[in-house]
Amino acid sequence: MIVCRTKAEMRATVCDWRADRATVGLVPTMGYLHEGHLGLVRMARETADRTVASIFVNPTQFGVNEDLDTYPRDEARDLALLEQKGVDSVFLPGVEEMYRPGEPAYVDVPELSGILQGALRPCHFRGVSTVVTKLFNIVTPDLAIFGEKDYQQLTLIRQMVRDLDMPLEIRGHPTVREPDGLAMSSRNVRLRPDHRQEAVALNEALDRAVVVAKTGPSIADLETAVRSRLEGSPSATIESIDIRDADTLEEVSGTLDRRVVILLAVRYDTVLLIDQRVVAPPN
């Protein structure tokens, strides 16, 4: 496995592969890998000839009061896992390698970056779309894989690629879950043990919505079902429950008459968890 710490090393590695007409799949990550990331790696390996994983805790997507400094990191373990999973190269740049000082150019998808999580975390999605564009420009992958768990991120990246004619395919990977249903996340390790137990509420609330969706409900009925399960978790602070068009993230109301996505943001103490589920009307 080739570890590239500079853009030049990464470009040279991909250039060698291209000489053999190899296709390249990219799995962008912020490290501290778990089964969820490894699912993305598996998908990339099944789809492309060569797989690159990037590990970069991107400062521009964290707000001033967010958890950049305490974001978990374990480079040695991440590298061992990626090697074991057959990744061909890891791109592991430092902050100075990725960003020059000052006010660098950025990429934004304003329609999607200011809503939902973007309204709670100003500049977050601008940071994501900018760093993902940079990664695409450095690695030049044929396809890139993102988890469906970060649904708004995936929707925004799909739109960015479409609107800016970026020459690659974006694939979403279904959320990978712990045996009790909690969506895997690097943040789960920071949950207190009692909060970790309670956090199954997110998945169970979404399961309830799937059952209710079969009855031909209104959007409000779906929300009530989800909220009542979350309220059964005494330590949970419900930051948001949003039900939106599954493709555009536009607001929806009235009867459930199209595919919608239910997006949850729930906090346990300082740990913000997100989860999502797409539900469809009966038939």
Q: What are the residues binding ligand PAF (CB under 6 A)?
A: 28-30, 58, 61, 128, 131-132, 150, 153
| Least distance in angstroms from the C-beta of 46 to ligand PAF | 20
Residue closer to ligand PAF, measured from CB, 28 or 172: 28
Residue closer to ligand PAF, measured from CB, 125 or 268: 125
> Catalytic site residues?
37
Q: What does DSSP say about strands 260-268 and 271-279: parallel, antiparallel, or unpaired?
A: antiparallel
Residues across the chain: 283
Q: What's at 173, amino acid-wise?
A: H
First to last CA, the chain: 47
Residue closer to ligand PAF, measured from CB, 186 or 233: 186
Count other Cβ atoms within 10 Å, centred on residue 136.
Answer: 21
Residue closer to ligand PAF, measured from CB, 34 or 267: 34
| Least distance in angstroms from the C-beta of 54 to ligand PAF | 7
Beta-bridge partner residues of 261: 244, 278
| Least distance in angstroms from the C-beta of 53 to ligand PAF | 10
| Least distance in angstroms from the C-beta of 82 to ligand PAF | 14
Rounded to an integer, what distance in angstroms lies between the CA atom of residue 32 and that of residue 5? 17
Candidates 175, 177, 191, 173; CA nearest to 271 is 191
